[in-house]
Amino acid sequence: MLTISKPLSAGQAQTYHQKEFTARQQNYWSQRGVIAGEWQGRLADQFRLTGTVSADDFAKLSQSQHPQTGEQLVRQRESFQYQDVDGKTVKTMEHRAGWPATFSAPARRRCNQCHAEEEEQGRGR
């Protein structure tokens, strides 16, 4: 299942990266005690980004800047208000760094996987 949350500002994205993604307490993301993201995908290839994503890299990217060159990739937009055709005041959203997306397996699939692992380890009945 895919869950997409409300969009994050650059500051919110950086706080998430620091306190949630790279925090030692969030050890289910760790690999051999190391918690780090890696550059992946076509855009990473196009920008020649490889290896580990540093906190500075993530901060630049969340501000729409190239992580290595600092080049502004997306023009940021400030929030503003206007009147729509019905005379209602509408406030636009300021630039957002991204949308958090969570992929999760259905509960039934997770339970079946747990039971299979228990049986493999000789704990299941």
Tens of pLDDT, residues 68-99: 999 998 887 788 899 999 999 998 877 788 87
Residues in Cβ contact with 8 at an 8 Å cutoff, skipping those fewer than 6 apart: 16, 96, 97, 98, 99, 100
**Within a domain: residue 92?**
no
55, pLDDT greater than 70 = yes
**Within a domain: residue 37?**
yes
| 3-state DSSP percent of the chain in helix, strand and coil, to 5 | 35, 20, 50
**Within a domain: residue 9?**
yes
Structural domains in the chain (count): 1
Q: In the chain, what percentage of residues exceed pLDDT 70?
A: 73
**Within a domain: residue 80?**
no
pTM summary value: 0.59
Instruction: Supply the pLDDT for residue 42.
Output: 94
**Within a domain: residue 79?**
no
Length of the chain equals: 125
**Within a domain: residue 91?**
no
By residue range, what is the domain housing residue 34?
A: 2-73+97-120
